[in-house]
Amino acid sequence: MLVDPEGNAIGEAPKATVHGPDTPLHLAFSSYVFDAGGRLLLSRRALHKVTWPGVWTNSCCGHPLPGEPLAAAVTRRLEFELGLELGGVDLLLPRFAYRAVMDDGIVENELCPVYRVVVDVDPRPNPEEVDAVRWMPWKQFADLVMDERMDISPWAKEQVPHLVRLGPDPLAWPLGDLAELFPAAR
């Protein structure tokens, strides 16, 4: 879903055509999956991905289908990429947006609300999407990212400081306000 800077839908385009040197602004999401102990599930992007192949990142990112609510897109992608069946999806950062450029000139340009999911099962990664996974205590991960001691995707690097400000316990973070979502995401 293509969007204007205020987050209003202005059109649609196939995913394969929107990631390049002139990537239009589009709607996406990021999700952070935790277990009951507050460990974060990290994923390493498949080596054949167009954007940031082989890079460690948050649990899962993706794009909604036209007309699909973002929470439903999070559920769909976590099931497809990591084999996780979910009970609930919590909005954390309704207004996150970023732009990042790879060394080869490919651009990510997204309005990208951030979600939390808590699971009690281990993932079953889809090798088409995910090269590897690992669980890491939130504080350890956040400290590594904040101290720039971990190579992580550019969007996760920008998201972590916002999440850290929500408090030390990821299971107790306050929920974001659905009314603050970009209009195209409501």
Q: Which helix (H) or strand (E) holds 73?
A: helix 70-82
pLDDT band at 161 (very low <50, low <70, confident <90, very high): very high
Q: Which helix (H) or strand (E) holds 134?
A: strand 130-137
61 is annotated as an active-site residue: yes
pLDDT in tens, 171-186: 999 999 999 999 999 8
pLDDT band at 109 (very low <50, low <70, confident <90, very high): very high
Q: What is the pLDDT of residue 107?
A: 94
What is the set of domains in the chain, with CATH numbers? 2-179 (3.90.79.10)
Tell me how far apart the terminal alpha carbons of the chain are, to the nearest angstrom: 13
Average pLDDT, the chain: 96
**Active-site position among 60, 81, 108, 110:** 110
Residue 79 confidence (pLDDT) above 80: yes
**Active-site position among 60, 61, 81, 112:** 61
Q: What is the pLDDT of residue 183?
A: 96
pTM: 0.96
Cα separation of 34 and 119, whole Å? 6
Cα separation of 172 and 164, whole Å? 12
Helix 138-146 vs helix 154-164: crossing angle, to nearest 10: 110
Cα separation of 93 and 176, whole Å? 6
Tokens (6 digits) for 25 = 């602004």
Residue 36 confidence (pLDDT) above 90: yes
Q: What is the pLDDT of residue 114?
A: 98
pLDDT in tens, 5-34: 999 999 999 877 888 899 999 999 999 999
Cα separation of 129 and 113, whole Å? 20
The percent of residues in the chain predicted with pLDDT above 70, rounded, is: 100
Tokens (6 digits) for 181 = 């979502």
Q: What is the pLDDT of residue 18?
A: 82
Q: What is the pLDDT of residue 16?
A: 78
pLDDT, mean of residues 135-163: 97
